[in-house]
Amino acid sequence: MSLSDLTEQAVQHAITECDELGRTNFLRTYGFRRSRDYVLMHKGRPYDSKAIAGVAHRYLPGGNLLSSKEFSGGEKAAAGKLRELGFDVPDPAKQTVAPIPTFEPGAIYNRVRDIHKVYGGQRQGGISTPKEVPLIFLFTGETGGQYGYRDGPRANGIFAYTGEGQVGPMKFVRGNLAVRDQVKMDVTYCFSKL
């Protein structure tokens, strides 16, 4: 069997398994690395296309895992086959802006190196709105409490974010306005080191 045998259903099973294990554990379990160029986008979430294709092969009748050394992840292999099956794998050569971030929930990132150098945006303050990508980064920390900020998840499942401003009620300008007017916000909890 080869990648040519992959089915949409097998790929869906691999995506579900990745969701259950978490990206880092999924890659570690099956011996794959993060995709540098070909990222499978599914329901707004990024997946490592080569890893998904290799693991999906296990879900075929009589199938087995294809290791990363057994096939390519590029246009003529994993990425091409996934597109053929109807999955979205953007062509890196045609991307004009930074890719949507693939942060691992709970991981620690360097704010300047991992966020601002890649995506842009304001380097000061709690809200960063890069011009080149449709993202808003919210920064919060434990020390905010001494300044009146009470950010964090609430018992009702809502993440409360105080916003920008040090005196009086928050005004809907700049970053606060961007957050308020965001149509849909997917939140990934990550940690940033300055």
pLDDT for position 76? 82
Q: Is the residue at 99 inside a domain?
A: no
Q: How confident is the model at residue 194 (pLDDT cuts 50, 70, 90)?
A: very low
Q: What is the pLDDT of residues 68-110, one digit of tens each?
A: 888 877 778 888 999 999 999 887 766 555 556 667 777 777 8
Same-domain pairing of 83 and 140: no
Q: Is residue 63 assigned to a domain?
A: yes
For residue 55, count CB atoms less than 10 angstroms from its CB and return exposed for 0-12, middle for 13-18, buried for 19 or more.
buried
Question: Are 142 and 81 found together in one domain?
Answer: no
Is residue 101 a part of any domain in this protein? no
Domain end marker among 94, 128, 146: 94
Is residue 86 located within the same domain as residue 28? yes
Q: Of 94, 121, 153, which residue sits at a domain end?
A: 94
Residue 26's domain comprises: 3-94
Which pair of structure tokens corresponds to residue 138?
A: 């919210």
Q: Which residues contact 133 (CB under 8 A, 6 or more apart)?
A: 97, 98, 100, 119, 120
Residue 75 and residue 127 in one domain: no
Tens digit of pLDDT for each residue in 5-40? 899 999 999 999 999 998 888 999 999 988 878 888
41 and 112 share a domain? no
115 and 172, same domain (yes or no): yes
14 found inside a domain: yes
Q: Which residues pair with 127 in a beta bridge?
A: 138
* Shared-domain flag, residues 121 and 84: no
Determine, yes or no, domain membership for 102.
Answer: no
* Statement to judge: residues 17 and 78 lie in one domain: yes
| Domain total of the chain | 2
Whether residue 125 sits in one domain with residue 67: no
